[in-house]
Amino acid sequence: MINLKVYTLVIFIILNTTIFSQIYVAPYGNDSDPGTIDQPLESIQKAQELVSPGDTVFIRGGTYQIREDQISRIVSNLFACISYLDKSGTEDHTIKYWAYPGETPIFDFSNVKPANQRVAGIYITGSYIHIKGLEMTGVQVTITTHTESYCIYSRGNHNIFEQISMHDNVGTGLRHYRGGNNLFLNCDSYRNWDNVSEDKLGSNNDGFGCHPDPGSTGNIFRGCRAWFNSDDGFDIIRADESVVFDSCLAFYNGYTTSFDELGDGNGFKAGGYAHDNADQIPNPVPRHTVEFCIAVRNKANGFDSNHHLAGNNWYNNSAYRNATNFNMVNRVSPDSDDIWANGYDHVLKNNLSYNARGSETEYIDTAQNTLSHNSFDLGINITDEDFVSLDESQLTAPRKPDGSLPDIDFMKPAQGSDIIDAGIDIGFGFLGNAPELGAIEVNYLTDVLNNEGRMPEKISLFHNYPNPFNPLTDIIYEVPNSGNVEITIYDSIGRKIKTLVNEMKNSGTYEVRFDGSNLTSGVYFYRLQMNGNSIVKQMLLLK
């Protein structure tokens, strides 16, 4: 006889074990097929009809030549949507639309030209969706008056857009409205130019746009690049909540590939309510953050506050060869028509500006802003020799296999430059005595110590770099004499995760790498112990 307790346990496990489905889409698929790996579907739209929270749609590589008969829905009698994703996952069980591992699905919308409608390659109203690894091209515009088409038109919450390449479109790359807590991670948007509507200069075509509604906080762009877009690289005009740009690149925006002038041409357009009526302006006005970003040779401004009605946070950014590198222009007040006021309430720290075509800065009133340790207020004389390289071709280097930005030497401080250690600690990880100016932190510490023959005078534990990190970060430490050294990693509630070092060390400077591949995102601590002394520092893993 089966033991009743065992039987009950088996039934409990069966009832509480969820089996998630995998659905397959391929260029050679058929929407009448079941969506297995051997009998894939043809369209993402059909796949979304079949998915449930926790399921994964694997999209096989190859070119998908999208047809007009694949328009799945017309929204507001205006938006012609190829894929309309309105089915949501949950916080614990997202719905994934992922490129099949090792393959690149390319969606070509060149043949989709519905008259008098805006094309949206993917239109999203659902939440807890993760789209990864798609390439999108050829989105068309058919309206000749004021209009815009899109590779991706996003209106959901808690979604992740990762490793998406949007290029050579007549439409914008990605435009987000309304929702919050979306992550735009390691995406590229380039060579997008609307040469059809209005004056054919593409004054609406941005690489990325983000315009959340009141209450929709938490939208972050991280590791994204935008170049040769006919209007702006990144545009958050009329955003009703704060948006964060972290480690993003914007270059050559406002130009054709031959550098003929097109639209506005800002790298990062951070906010703005130039001519909006007072009753259209959010209260409070959001404060945006732009950190560790690089803006190069944009037609107009590298970093632009765009007649905003509040200050923004600008930390550790690098600007080079823009018409104006940092333009902090504000509007006087919601009740004023003066939109060309000196910037106020901005915080600029550790920023690097070099070789602007016009002005390094504009509309910065030092009395009305917080400026600290920027190249333009420190009086540092910067030359080409302060950088390892100024080769702009590195900006379009291929991404790493995991989609993260390539390691480049462009605007990387050269050893011995006054840019190194010229910043101020504002809470980010750094190496050496202080942060570098600009977006790139360097590690010349070990070489300098070894070359000088200097012996450490005390136990020291430096900030890990990079921080935040995913999944690798380096930890540098110094010991003044011989002894057993232990470096241990702990999670946020004090549980030991891993011992990185536990051995005898002679006097010197050492470096150890920590790999968080098997850990979840969150705060972790690393502790150095030697001869009864202990130093603890904090690091942040973001996946």
The residues annotated as belonging to the active site are 269
Q: Environment class of residue 66 by beta-carbon count within 10 Å: exposed (0-12), middle (13-18) or buried (19+)?
A: buried
3 state SS for 413-482: ECCCCCCCCCCCCCCCCCCCCCCCCCCCCCCCHHHHHHHHCCCCCCCEECCCECCCECCEEEEEEEECCC
Q: Are 438 and 411 in contact (CB under 8 A)?
A: yes
Between CA 437 and CA 359 the distance in angstroms is: 19
Between CA 420 and CA 416 the distance in angstroms is: 7
> 78-90 burial string, b = 16+ CB within 10 Å, else e?
ebbbbbbbebbbe
Give φ, ψ of 394 to 5 degrees. -65, -20
Between CA 202 and CA 263 the distance in angstroms is: 6
Measuring CA to CA, how many Å separate 196 from each of 80, 142, 399? 17, 7, 32
> 306-326 burial string, b = 16+ CB within 10 Å, else e?
bbbbbbbbbbbbbbbbbbbbb
